[in-house]
Amino acid sequence: RRYVAGGQCKSAARLEGKVVIVTGANTGIGKETARELARRGKVIAACRDVAKAEAAASEIRAETGNQQVIVKKLDLADTKSIREFAEKFLAEEKELHILINNAGVMLCPYSKTVDGFEMHLGVNHLGHFLLTFLLLERLKQSAPARIVNVSSLAHHGGRIRFHDLHGEKSYNRGLAYCHSKLANVLFTRELAKRLQGNLMRAYLSWTFFFFCAIGTKVTANALHPGSVHSELVRHSFVVTWLWKIFSFFLKTPQEGAQTSVYCAVAEELDSVTGQYFSDCQPAYVSPRGRDDETAKKLWSMSCELLGIQWD
C-alpha cells in the first residue's frame, strides 16, 4: 500500500494571505487538493457542478475550520463561462498566487464543447489555456506565483494531430485523452519559456524593469498524479469495472493529490519552471513532450481557435 501511494508532499508551507484557484475541486484529486490547501490558506473551487462543489466545500470547511473555501461556477467546455468566471474573479479578488488547472475529462464518447472543440481537447487543454490567459496578469501582479497543470503519464501515447485536432476524420476516446494530456505538457513548456523570456527582455531593457520583472515572476509546471481510483473513468464501463477490481493497486484521491500540492507549495520549487513531476519528483517527459516547434505551433493554433492574441 505504501508503494502504491507514491511520493508525499512534506512541505509545511503556509498560505496565509494567499489565494488559490483549483479547477474541478468538487471530486477526486481536485477535491483532495483543495482540502489540503484549505489547511494552509484561501481556496476558490472553480467547478461546473455548483451543487456538488458546495457540498464538497462545506465538508472541507467543517474539517479544516477554514471558512475561506469559496465555490465559483466554471464550465471549461464553454468559453463564455470561462470568461464570466475570470471577469467575476478579477472584480472580487485583488490577488492570485496559485492556479491549479486540475479539472478534466477522460474516455468520453465523441462529443464537442459549446464552441465546437473536441471534448478532451476543449476541456483539458483549450479551457485551461484560456483561463490561464485571462488570469495571467493577476498572477504576475501577485508575485511570486505558480501555475500547476495536471497532465498524465498518458501524454506518452499522445501526439498533436494538427490536421485533425477535433477528431472529425478519426476518433479514439483513449487516444483523444492522451493527445490532450500531451497538449498540457507542451502548453506548460511553452508558457514557462515565454514567462522567462519576458523576464530576460526586461533585464535587457533597464535594470529597473529587471527588478520589477523579478517581483512578478510566475512559474509553470506540469505533473502526473498517478493512477488514481476516481470518477474520471466514469465514461467507460470497462475501465470503471477494472478500476474496482484492481483498486488496491491504485492511488486514493488523497494520494493522487500529493504531487499537485507539492508543485503548489514546495519551497524548493520557488524558481523551478517548465518541468514535469510525478510522485513529488522530476519525471521523464516523452520526446513529443519536448518538441519546441510543436509547442509553438500548438500555442499559435490554440490562440487562433480561442480568438485571442497572446504574445
Which pLDDT does position 60 carry in this prediction?
Answer: 98
Whether residue 264 is contained in a domain is answered as yes
The per-residue pLDDT for range 150-162, each reduced to its tens digit, is 999 999 999 999 9
Domain region containing 102: 15-196+216-306
**Is the four-CA dihedral 106, 111, 112, 118 of positive or negative sign?**
positive
Question: Over the chain, what is the mean pLDDT?
Answer: 89
Is 177 annotated in the active site? yes
The per-residue pLDDT for range 280-304, each reduced to its tens digit, is 999 999 999 999 999 999 999 999 9
Decide: helix, strand or coil at residue 73: strand
**Amino acid found at 285:** V
Alpha-helix runs per DSSP H in 50-154? 50-64, 79-92, 119-120, 128-141
The per-residue pLDDT for range 227-252, each reduced to its tens digit, is 665 555 455 445 454 445 445 457 78
| 30: CATH | 3.40.50.720
**What's the burial of 309, exposed, middle or buried (CB within 10 Å: 0-12/13-18/19+)?**
exposed
Mean pLDDT for 207-218 is 49
What is the C-alpha to C-alpha distance for residues 74 and 123, in angstroms, rounded to an integer? Answer: 11
Confidence of residue 9 (pLDDT cuts 50, 70, 90): very high
Which pLDDT does position 247 carry in this prediction?
Answer: 52
Which pLDDT does position 233 carry in this prediction?
Answer: 47
Which pLDDT does position 232 carry in this prediction?
Answer: 53
Question: Is the pLDDT at 200 greater than 50, yes or no?
Answer: no
Whether residue 292 is contained in a domain is answered as yes
The per-residue pLDDT for range 137-192, each reduced to its tens digit, is 999 999 899 999 999 999 999 999 999 999 999 999 999 999 999 999 999 999 99
pTM: 0.90
Which range, of 4-13, 18-27, 85-94, 126-135, averages the lowest pLDDT? 4-13
Whether residue 311 is contained in a domain is answered as no
Catalytic residue among 177, 203, 262, 276: 177
Which pLDDT does position 72 carry in this prediction?
Answer: 98
Whether residue 50 is contained in a domain is answered as yes
Whether residue 201 is contained in a domain is answered as no
Which pLDDT does position 208 carry in this prediction?
Answer: 38
What long-range pairs does 168-171 form, CB within 8 A, spacing at least 24?
168/118, 171/110, 171/118
Which pLDDT does position 250 carry in this prediction?
Answer: 76
Whether residue 2 is contained in a domain is answered as no
Whether residue 205 is contained in a domain is answered as no
Mean pLDDT for 270-289 is 97
Whether residue 148 is contained in a domain is answered as yes
**How many domains does the chain divide into?**
1
What is the C-alpha to C-alpha distance for residues 288 and 294, in angstroms, rounded to an integer? Answer: 8
Which pLDDT does position 182 carry in this prediction?
Answer: 98
